Structure 1
Amino acid sequence: MLYCGVATAEISDTIHPFVAIGYTYDDNLLRLPDDVPLQQQRSDRATQAQAGVIVDRPIGRQRLSATAKVSRVTFDHYTQLDYNGKDIKADLAWQLGNHLSGNVGGGYVQTLTPFSDYNSDERNLRTSRREYANGAWRFHPSWQVRSGFTRNRHEYELLAQRVNNRTEDLAEVGFDYLDKSGSRVGLVVRQLKGEYLNPRRINGVALDDNYTQDELKASVSWRFSGITYIEVLAGYARRKHDFFTGRDSSGANGRASVNWAPLGKVKFRAEVWREFAAVESFIVSNSLNKGGSVSATWDVTSKVQGTASVRRETRQFEQLPTIGFTGNPDDRATSAQLGLAYAPTLHSQIGVSAFRERRNGSRLAGTNDYRSNGVSINASVQF
């Protein structure tokens, strides 16, 4: 919701403090179904105050970059949702000699869990931790081999949501062809292991949601022309569960995007995906998501920028053959957003945006039919 501008007079070339404030109105904050009784409040207003610091420092041939910010979010009606947010990220880009390079880093994020899959008015903070390390050996000017490991951990404040506490470990190894233009084409083998810490119970049956996902994918980052840039991470994936193997699935999996800038000041981005994703529900734990999005950015003047985006996604939820679920196994969501930003100086920015969301839910997964509209206003300054 908040964006930080570039400073005209920086405190230093390494440390960049910033502050920001934002205001949001949402006419269906909890993403309640269309037929909910009118006695329950649907709309609310939220104010967010944010302060932080950006660090960007070269250390010899290495480079350290980090961001740390804290926020205070308060609501006019649902005051029990008020919370303090935290967002800390750090990355060290390392280089050894002329052939070995990589990154090591991590992050910590504490924020309010979205209401799209769980519509309680009780506060439910989500804490996410991430650690990663990767490296590449460029053994030839046009070829490299690489590997990496990433661990993501998610924990939820609300007792009913702790069935979604999980750890996801991703290990990968691959090789790439490096073109002189800066493009890259490669093949990567990946394994993702998910471990859920608190088994959920459906009709008195305890479910083990642990899984292993094996992938073989093409990895492409290609400058097709001066105005077209293509990114692909797609191929084949097979997901296997330790319990209720009837949920196992395999097939095409991945994401592709195209960035196109035919007019200089106007840029477009299109993206499509078909991939597994976690669901923050107490009924199901994951879904196969298929969707696409289109966005545009228009630099109206040197100080004014307009943005627009449209997104559509279908989620196909897992079905448990030994438990009697009924209803549609899919839900479909569409969203659109328009925004306008004005930078009166190089170190400040004011923005306004409006959004609209609509979803056709699934009884099987306990998701609602809902509509939501909203607007946000924000301002920021970086020193």
Structure 2
Amino acid sequence: MLSSLFSNSGARWATPVTPVAAAVGVLLGMAASGAAYAEISDTIHPFVSVTRSYDANLLRYADNSPVPQDQRSDYLTQTMAGVSLDQPISRQRLTGQFKVSKVAFDRFDMLDYTGKDFNADLEWHIGNNLDGHLGGAYAQSLTSFADFRQAARNLQVQQRENFDGGWRFHPSWRVRAGWSTQKFTYDLPAQQFNNRTEDYNNVGLDYIASTGSRVGLQVARAKGRYDNHFLANGQPIDDSYTQDEVKLNVQWIFSATSQFQMLAGRVERKHNYFAARDSSGLNGRGTFNWSMLRRLRMTATAWREYAAVDSNEVSNSFNKGVSLNAQWELTGKMSADFSARRERRDFIAIPGVTTFTRLDDDTKSYNAGLSYAPVTPVRLYLGAFRENRSGAASNTFRSHGVSLSARVQF
């Protein structure tokens, strides 16, 4: 399959290379010859990359779909250019990344799009005891086909602004507060009822041990607003909600090689329409990090939380899942990674609106990759994935794929 990534296969990969792809080739050659070793500066790092991928079921067609198996796959090429920033300003620190990509599909070329991903964060300090973050982000990408399986380009734009701050009024105690807002919009008219704004406000009090471990209590309110109401049998349905949280906030350092983080507690969620969907109970996420001699790093995560669904059937779900991620530094130039994830979703549906025969699904996904840096500024990556979902017949699919990428940072 790897060789087929670069075969003709009736694809535009065999056509003359684009200027961006040509530039990437030149830069790779420069890096390999040693001409690109020097960084442009200590704070600004431009980079370029090119990725060739194969997906056996790009649109995530259901197993019972009439679409033939040989018409579900596609090859795609992504070229990307960007710059990362890490700039100390006195005691403050400004970081950010700005990148633009062009994604071209061989078979489903109506999906070709330009991706954008911009984010910045200011870590601020006032005196010795006041600190926090001020940040924002903008991202434009193709909506996942996992829940929206139409051969139509549906770009999602996500915007985020956030501010938080804390005051360490005692060596062992810190009070904090935060605010964030995220806005999601879709350009496909059939999906614009999923346009929404999510606001999150929280306050907390933490006890800080001499080891750096932290235990605290956090109270928060989340609000989701859907401005374009979904029409069911001619009746508008408002999926807006309010969610109140009281959670335990833990960051425990067992040693230099193992740490545990958790934000979990009781959550109550109420909807503006059809109160039978309201629920309450345990909600949260916990993560355990472990490393061995800095060569092997593992992260295990478990969660129970609400999430939005980009679907024509439902807007929200309650998700329970676990994941495992591992990175192994094989040599100074080569590393391997692996991840496994399983998640069950229980859909928060309104009777008579969804056509699902089951109101839950179960997704298992696996990823593995190998990274190689022949010279300092160049990194090559070979990756593979497999994803299976079971649930309602119309919501069950299987897919797998492989990708090869090259990245140069200056």
Quickly name the TM-score band, shorter chain normalised.
over 0.9
Residue aligning to 1:32? 61
Residue aligning to 2:6? none
| Residue of structure 2 aligned with 1:14, choices 43, 64, 68 | 43
Residue aligning to 2:408? 381
Residue aligning to 1:127? 157
Distance 2:141 2:285 in 1: 26
| Per-residue deviation, residues 91-132 of structure 1 (Å, max 9, x unmatched) | 111111111111101000000000000101110000000000
Residue aligning to 1:289? 319
Amino acid at match of 2:60: R
1:154-169 equivalences under 5 Å are 154-169=184-199
| Residue of structure 2 aligned with 1:245, choices 275, 280, 283 | 275
| Residue of structure 2 aligned with 1:55, choices 82, 85, 95 | 85
Q: Alignment partner of 2:374: what SS?
A: strand
1:72-87 equivalences under 5 Å are 72-87=102-117
1:360 maps onto 2:353 in alignment: no
Amino acid at match of 1:16: H
Amino acid at match of 1:83: Y
Residue aligning to 2:135? 105
| Per-residue deviation, residues 62-113 of structure 1 (Å, max 9, x unmatched) | 1111110000000001111000110000111111111111110100000000
In structure 2, stretches of 5+ residues that fail to align are 1-30
Amino acid at match of 1:222: W
Q: Alignment partner of 1:224: what SS?
A: strand
> Structure 1 length normalisation: TM-score?
0.95
In structure 1, stretches of 5+ residues that fail to align are 1-5
Q: Contact (CA 8 Å) 2:356, 2:392: kept in 1 or not? A: no
1:221 maps onto 2:248 in alignment: no
Offset, 1:263: 5.3
What is the aligned residue count? Answer: 375
Offset, 1:321: 4.7
> Structure 2 length normalisation: TM-score?
0.89
Q: Contact (CA 8 Å) 1:270, 1:294: kept in 2 or not? A: yes
1:322 to 1:377, Cα distance in 2 relative to 1, 3 A: closer
| Residue of structure 1 aligned with 2:201, choices 168, 171, 175 | 171
Offset, 1:324: 7.9
Q: Contact (CA 8 Å) 2:313, 2:354: kept in 1 or not? A: no
Distance 2:381 2:192 in 1: 36
Distance 2:103 2:330 in 1: 32
Amino acid at match of 2:80: Q
Amino acid at match of 1:199: H
Q: Contact (CA 8 Å) 1:200, 1:282: kept in 2 or not? A: no
1:83 to 1:321, Cα distance in 2 relative to 1, 3 A: closer
Offset, 1:309: 1.1
1:369 maps onto 2:396 in alignment: yes
Distance 2:375 2:191 in 1: 44
Percent sequence identity is: 50
Amino acid at match of 2:42: D
Residue aligning to 2:7? none
1:349 to 1:128, Cα distance in 2 relative to 1, 3 A: same
Distance 1:336 1:113 in 2: 20
1:340 maps onto 2:340 in alignment: no
| Per-residue deviation, residues 298-356 of structure 1 (Å, max 9, x unmatched) | 11111110111111000000132576866211111001111000011221100001000
Superposition CA RMSD, Å: 1.6
Offset, 1:264: 4.0
| Residue of structure 2 aligned with 1:349, choices 375, 379, 382 | 379
Distance 2:65 2:373 in 1: 41
Distance 2:68 2:61 in 1: 12
Q: Contact (CA 8 Å) 1:32, 1:42: kept in 2 or not? A: yes
Offset, 1:357: 0.4
Distance 1:251 1:297 in 2: 34
Q: Contact (CA 8 Å) 2:333, 2:374: kept in 1 or not? A: yes
Q: Contact (CA 8 Å) 2:46, 2:409: kept in 1 or not? A: yes
Residue aligning to 1:140? 170
Q: Contact (CA 8 Å) 1:353, 1:375: kept in 2 or not? A: yes
Distance 2:259 2:333 in 1: 26
Q: Contact (CA 8 Å) 2:314, 2:354: kept in 1 or not? A: no
Residue aligning to 1:3? none
Amino acid at match of 2:326: A
| Relative contact order higher in (CA < 8 Å, ≥ 6 apart) | 1
1:220 to 1:11, Cα distance in 2 relative to 1, 3 A: same
Residue aligning to 2:286? 256
Offset, 1:55: 1.1
1:350 to 1:216, Cα distance in 2 relative to 1, 3 A: same
Q: Contact (CA 8 Å) 1:233, 1:256: kept in 2 or not? A: yes
Distance 1:277 1:38 in 2: 30
1:148 to 1:167, Cα distance in 2 relative to 1, 3 A: same
Question: Greater helix share, 1 or 2?
Answer: 2
